[in-house]
Amino acid sequence: MTTMRKSALVLAALGVCLSFSACASLGKKSPATASANTTTPEGEDKIDFGKLFGGGNGKKSSNVQETAGIGVNAYLWRASLDTISFMPLTSADPWGGVIITDWYANPQSPDERFKTTIFILDARLRADALNVNVQKEVRQGDRWVPADVSQQTQLDIENAILTRARELRLSNVKN
């Protein structure tokens, strides 16, 4: 195995470990992350990595400092994970806002399976900040063959995530 390939494998393993450790700590605020949390003008939670890692003085003197935090809406992230919790996760990147599931087959329909990729594109809680891509395969004999997915299926998942995100935001505002 080449050195370059070994390095790539080590980096990939490290990325997976960091992603899962970040997912495990969602909702838990350590003293370091609690002081690094900021709120956008829209009232959304955002993490300022400058404060988190001790850099900068915490002042927001420019637009660059404002956008230096994580670019993913916390409500959309949590709602996405809640909505697809029945599917096994392959990857979850809270910094890039990408969630990828593994193939899931409903026990009532074992001859079809689905895989979902969710992209959170903005730090604001907006409908256009979310993109859901669903892949479907059907079993033909002993192999899986790609099949068309209804656009309505993807819209239904997006709407379920948005509804859950609004619920989370409202419950957070009341507290």
pLDDT, tens digit, for every residue of 130-146?
999 999 999 999 999 99
pLDDT of residue 174: 72
Which helix (H) or strand (E) segment is 71 a member of? Answer: none
Contact 116/136 with Cβ under 8 angstroms? no
The span from the CA of 17 to the CA of 103, in Å, is 21
Q: In the chain, what are the domain boundaries?
A: 15-66, 74-174
Please answer whether residues 118 and 99 qualify as being in contact, where contact means their C-beta atoms are separated by less than 8 angstroms.
yes
Q: Check pLDDT > 70 for residue 84.
A: yes
Residue 128 token pair: 């256009």
This model's pTM is above 0.85: no
Q: How confident is the model at residue 72 (pLDDT cuts 50, 70, 90)?
A: confident
Determine whether domain 74-174 maps to CATH 3.30.530: yes
Helices (H), the chain: 3-24, 31-36, 49-52, 63-66, 74-83, 151-174
Give the pLDDT score at 45: 52
